[in-house]
Structure 1
Amino acid sequence: MVLWDFDGPICRLFARHTAERVATELVDWLESRGLHGLVTGGEPGSPDPRTVLRAVDRRRPGSDLVAELEERLTQEELRAAVSAMPTAYADPLIRTWTAVGARLAVTTDNSPRAVRAYLGSRGLTGCFEPRVYGRATGPRPLGTGPHRLERALGDTGSAPAAALVIGGSVSDLAAAADAGVPFLGYARNEREAEPLRSAGAVCVAGSLEPVLRVLRDGRSGPTAPFA
């Protein structure tokens, strides 16, 4: 089974509808409600609006504010999905893995609604459904650790050692390690690759093309080109 993170390995979600702008607008919305100081330190300028949601979730856990902020972020992710940029070779790799009988899932802290909107626009829905495990709705949208990976493995009866996580963040790496699943890092450049390597990632790919080439050549094992 192949467990894909969404934003990065499958597409650049905020390629045009920029993450920095969304993060800034979420902070501005909070402040317009008189909620100054809920997001502090480096968080307001974060290029990832999920950082803003995590910050508010830490300070107001279980609140209606978190649920409302999550819905606002979901709407922004749905807008971003329309102009998201596909990751090179991701579409053919997904289709090829499906064609050879692999089960695929998306495990992400993005909204599952945005994931499904993007997959539908690329004709990839059938490669994943119903195995999309994304951010929850309601007052506690952000789970921690490997719970999404474990849900995907449990729902399909897959053994962790026989699966593969393709992820682009240190949190993806940590979740894979906690779940006992091999990890393949994806990074578009050295700036993105360095944190993964520093955190202990053994395999970090700058392109999915070698994985696709090996899969099409019929060599065994999804991690063969990076062993």
Structure 2
Amino acid sequence: MTSDTTRTEPVAGPTDRLRRLVSRAEVVLWDFDGPICRLFAGHPAPEVAGRLVDWLETRGLRGLLTEAERHTADPHAVLRAVDRAGLGLDVVAQLEERLTREELRATATAMPTAWADPLIRTWTALGARLAVASNNSPRVIGAYLAGRGLADCFGPHIYGRDTDAHRLKPDPYHLHRALNALTAAPATALLIGDSPTDHEAARRAGIPFLGYARNTRKARLLADAGARDVIGSLEPLLRLLRENKPSSPPRAQQHLPGQ
């Protein structure tokens, strides 16, 4: 199996299916943590989840969590549990704000996903419309994109977590928001995500899905969830876009990155 593509069957380089996914995508929706960056690379998510659990304990609410949720590595699992308990907006809002502050701290040590920045810039230069649909806070996403000089590639189209935790993926709510804002049909879009919840949200919304798996464990989870197209690097996408770029820039005085 090549390092570029991770699938249930070995393939050599970009496949015809990958070419079709890329060529048909007028709108590209991105999950944030994974495809664009590793948000918690230097600020581990399990520690963040643990601090959220500790905060609930100080309020006498630790009993709301199952044993698995008390030891989860996923901060969103803690947020979902509190939302599920129906304690009211105040507690959920406080917990969500604490999670947002942790994510904002994490942006300082977030690791950009290899090839993500030039891929985003190239897709934008070729005329695709981009949006982020994520379970992370839109404040965090906006801060990271601005720091990388990518904010203009997405404009206002950042759709992320709020106090309605039940709308986190796999609910397709934020995908629908993005499509509605961009006046795009699901079939004209492509979601790039790295988790089974991304795949399920895309399936519910009727959006073609491309999985990104940075390691074998991620690839296995996506395959087990039914994801048919999974890549281990974003480089094949960038290569395909550059192979099929128009002979002249689509916008005045605009050039593809690297030219």
TM > 0.5 between the two? yes
2:167 aligns with 143
Mapped pair 1:15 → 2:41:
yes
1:223 aligns with none
Aligned-pair identity in percent equals 62
Equivalent residue runs for 1:1-227 within 5 Å:
1-60=27-86, 62-137=88-163, 140-144=164-168, 145-218=171-244
* Unaligned runs of at least 5 residues, structure 2: 1-26, 247-259
Aligned residues: 218
TM-score (norm 2): 0.81
* CA deviation profile, 1:130-175 (whole Å, cap 9, x unmatched): 00000114xx244151111111111111111111000111111111
Tell me which stretches of 4 or more aligned residues in structure 1 moved more than 2 Å: 60-63
* Separation of aligned partners in 1, 2:88 and 2:60: 19
Q: Is the 8 Å Cα contact of residues 32 and 133 (structure 2) preserved in structure 1?
A: yes
What is the one-letter code of the residue matched to 1:60? G
RMSD of the TM alignment (CA)?
1.4
* Separation of aligned partners in 1, 2:219 and 2:71: 21
Please report how far the alpha carbon of residue 55 of structure 1 lies from its aligned counterpart in structure 2 after TM superposition. 1.1
Tell me which structure has the larger Cα radius of gyration: 2
* Separation of aligned partners in 2, 1:197 and 1:141: 26
What is the one-letter code of the residue matched to 1:119? L
More deviation in 143-152 or 206-215? 143-152
* Unaligned runs of at least 5 residues, structure 1: 221-227
Which structure carries more relative contact order (alpha carbon 8 Å, separation 6+)? 2
Q: Is the 8 Å Cα contact of residues 80 and 165 (structure 2) preserved in structure 1?
A: no
Where 1:42 maps in the other structure, the secondary structure is helix
